[in-house]
Amino acid sequence: MIYNIAIDGPAGAGKSTIAKKVARELSCVYVDTGAMYRAMALYLLRRNVDRENPEEIGEVCQGAEISIEYKNGEQIVLLNGENVNPFLRREEVGNMASVSSANPKVREKLLDLQRKLAASMSVVMDGRDIGTTILPNAEVKIYLTASSLTRAERRYLELQEKGLSCDLEEIRKDIEERDSRDMNREISPLRQAEDAVLVDSSEMTIEEVVKCILQIFHEKVILSDEVGKNEG
């Protein structure tokens, strides 16, 4: 049986950490759609596009071919054949991604790839519009959030661990700007799908969130499958 778990939410809510762990527990594949938008942003940065010019972004993005490979369970994003994973988590790439992902041409290019991945195997897919647009029929939908201060603190620690210098207030400002761009754009804005379960992780540990999502999966997929078999 193929099933899909969609996890959406704002920047720094912990989606990727949580989604990876849930996928490992269920022995299915984790699909990080943010990394695809980041790869596209990297391409646009390398091509020096004007981020204020949507027409230019829409045109230049046509030159980027993005595909995904899995090596030892790790998602590798290929940009025109090059493994660009090492560059994707940079702050400037994330900021550009939140600008360029509002572009319909950029979204169009990635939508197909994401739907095909989810149709071919069981996945935990995280992003902004997975439950609302990409996989409206996902068996499990989670909207994972946390307060903007908590999210900024998490991102701050993540950067510090990597030895990068950063400023908490600046990160918080960046996160709030990014949220507002993601939530207020015209195409596929970030919002909770009607049938998504809201999980606020501000006061929860990673393990608690993973457990909570596995429980929701159990109720929605395993139990309902058993009920269906008994009824049938």
Distance CA 29, CA 217 (A): 15
Q: Which tokens belong to 66?
A: 């993005």
CB-wise, 75 or 98, nearer to ligand CDP? 98
Q: Which is nearer to ligand CDP, 162 or 229 (CB)?
A: 162
Q: Is 38 in the site for ligand CDP (CB under 6 A)?
A: yes
User: Which residues neighbour 99 within 8 Å (Cβ) at sequence distance 6 or greater?
Assistant: 41, 51, 181
Q: At a CB cut-off of 8 Å and minimum separation 6, what does 184 contact? A: none
Structure tokens at 157: 């620690």
37 belongs to the binding site for ligand CDP (CB under 6 A)? yes
CB of 125 to ligand CDP, least distance (A): 8
Q: Pick one of 19, 45, 127, 213: the residue that binds ligand CDP (CB under 6 A).
A: 127
Min dist CB 153 to ligand CDP, Å, is: 14
- Least Å distance between CB 159 and ligand CDP? 12
What is the number of residues in the chain? Answer: 232
String of b and e for 5-37 (b: at least 16 CB within 10 Å)? bbbbbbbbbbbbebbbbbbeebebbbbbbbbbb
Q: Can you tell me which residue has the tokens 């949580």?
A: 18
**Does 182 participate in binding ligand CDP (rule CB under 6 A)?**
yes
Among 11, 118, 142, 193, binds ligand CDP (CB under 6 A): 11
Q: Which stretch binds ligand CDP (CB under 6 A): 56-64, 92-100, 158-166, 210-218?
A: 92-100
Q: Which is nearer to ligand CDP, 150 or 226 (CB)?
A: 150
Of the CA atoms within 13 Å of residue 120, those in its CB half-sphere come to: 9
Question: Do 101 and 181 form a contact (C-beta atoms < 8 A)?
Answer: no
Instruction: Name the minimum Å distance from CB 147 to ligand CDP.
Output: 15
Please give the Cα distance from 208 to 157 (Å, whole number).
20
Contact pick of 45, 66, 77, 97 for ligand CDP (by CB under 6 A): 97
> Does the protein bind ligand CDP through residue 174 (CB under 6 A)?
no
Judged by CB under 6 A, how many residues of this single chain contact ligand CDP? 16
Contacts to ligand CDP by CB under 6 A = 11-12, 16, 33-34, 37-38, 94, 97-98, 101, 127-129, 178, 182
